[in-house]
Amino acid sequence: MSFFKASVAAAAIAIMGGIPAMAHATDGTITFTGSISSQTCTINGNGTGAKDFTVALPPVSAGALAAAGQTAGQTPFNITLSKCSSPSGSVHTFFEPGATTDLSTGNLMVTAGGGSAANVQIGLTNADFSPIKAGAADASQNSKAVSIVDNGATLQYYARYVATGGAATAGTANSSVMYSLVYQ
């Protein structure tokens, strides 16, 4: 029995000796910073009383979107905040990247399927009509901040059709985007 144990030990040592040791060296350190806000508000999306809401764009002729870059159907919407835990500060909307955001244009892609319009996306703008680049990094989105006054604020935006890749074709133009509020 002791010969067997010695043979197994010798075999294990021989196998382990044949495996090269891996070298580990650090090349740098990544530091993550952030903060958690105690600020909260009640969200009233476009007068619905809910945080999830729908913006109905008007029907437009495909002829109004005959070339890439043309826009039509500009429709206002807002996110109204009330009962904010802090009476002051500022807030802006971060439009999250996701399956519906086109990171190259910053627009929202139309849901694909039978009967969907082609060569059209939905673009978002601030109240001053400056484009918002949905899905981009927060600092690059151009979503304008508004002041919180008396525990409330109203963030005003527009949605519109944007022709992309040529003339739009007729069909449904539905999309969605998730959003977060960024308090400062």
Alpha helix (H) ranges present in the chain? Answer: 2-17
The model scores a pTM over 0.75? yes
**pLDDT, position 153:** 95
Q: Residue 68: left (phi > 0), alpha (psi -120 to 50), or beta? A: beta
Per-residue pLDDT at 14 exceeds 80 = no
Higher pLDDT, 5 or 41: 41
Whether 151 is covered by a domain: the verdict is yes
Q: Which domain holds residue 138?
A: 40-183
CATH classification of the domain holding 60: 2.60.40.1090
Per-residue pLDDT at 29 exceeds 80 = no
For 109-160, write each residue's pLDDT tens digit: 999 888 999 999 999 999 999 999 999 999 999 999 999 999 999 999 999 9
Whether 27 is covered by a domain: the verdict is no
**pLDDT, position 27:** 72
**pLDDT, position 86:** 80
Distance, CA of 84 to CA of 45 (rounded, Å)? 15
**pLDDT, position 118:** 95
Q: How many domains does the chain have?
A: 1
Phi (first) and psi of residue 10, to 5 degrees: -65, -40
Whether 47 is covered by a domain: the verdict is yes
Name the nearest CA neighbour of 148 among 40, 38, 35, 47: 40
For 76-112, write each residue's pLDDT tens digit: 999 999 999 887 789 999 999 999 999 999 999 999 8
Whether 133 is covered by a domain: the verdict is yes
**pLDDT, position 113:** 87
